[in-house]
Structure 1
Amino acid sequence: MNNLKNLERLQQLHRLIVKEATGSPPQLARLMQISERKVYQLIEQLKDIEAPVSYSRAHKTYFYEDDFDLQVTVSVTVLKDNELTEIFGGSYFISGKIQTPGFLQGSILS
């Protein structure tokens, strides 16, 4: 469930960045009800998936330098003996390119 919470936080952070309404890192931490360290970890996760995220000291907000969209979708299916399923973890868009770093794909329980 930690992964789901992390995805929710990334999605929340993304929405704030798009609006350019994050505030400073300490303000953002209070707004999201997380630690400042977690804010920096989430920013790094966005950068790991090539999000063009930067911080403006003048405006005291994070922003995207270029087009970027993050769409988080999670699909969970209950498996029974030896059934095959696919669980996808979402996708993100960079200037018209679609990237899909799925969680688990083609997992089989035996």
Structure 2
Amino acid sequence: MNFIRQIERMQILNKLIKEQRTGTPNELAERLGVSRRQLYTYIDYLKDLGLDVWFSRKQNSFVYNDDEEIQLDLKIRVLGKTDVSKINGGKILKDFLPCFFYARTENKLVI
């Protein structure tokens, strides 16, 4: 569930930055329930994705440059028997593209 909480934090962070109402870094970190250092880790992650994020003292908020943003969607649902039967996880390709692994033990080739 920690992964889901991180997705939720990123969604809230994205929304607040887009609306330019994050407040100070300390206020935003408290709102997200993370430390200030962890907040900057999230900001750095956004920058790694190619977004230009910076803090505007004039607006007292983190902002995106040029109205950039990300879209994060998480969908969780219970699968019925018909849905589960449609998921093959590569089972169909097993016979089409067989894989063989070889290992050498001393002087023998083991298949």
- TM-score clears 0.5: yes
In the TM superposition, what is the alpha-carbon distance from 1:33 to its structure 2 partner?
Answer: 2.1
**Could you state the TM-score of these two structures normalised by the residue count of structure 1?**
0.64
**Greater relative contact order structure (CA < 8 Å, 6+ sep):** 2
Give the RMSD, CA atoms, in angstroms. 2.5
Provide the secondary structure at the position in 1 that maps to 2:21: coil
In the TM superposition, what is the alpha-carbon distance from 1:80 to its structure 2 partner?
Answer: 6.5
Higher mean C-alpha deviation, range 12-21 or range 67-76: 67-76
- Bigger strand fraction: 1
Q: How does 1:1-80 map to 2 (within 5 A)?
A: 1-75=1-75
Where do 5+ consecutive residues of structure 2 fail to align?
Answer: 91-111
Higher mean C-alpha deviation, range 10-19 or range 71-80: 71-80
How many residues align? The count is: 86
Identical-pair percentage: 33
- Bigger helix fraction: 2
AA in 2 matched with 1:29: A
Distance 2:76 2:31 in 1: 29
Where do 5+ consecutive residues of structure 1 fail to align?
Answer: 86-105
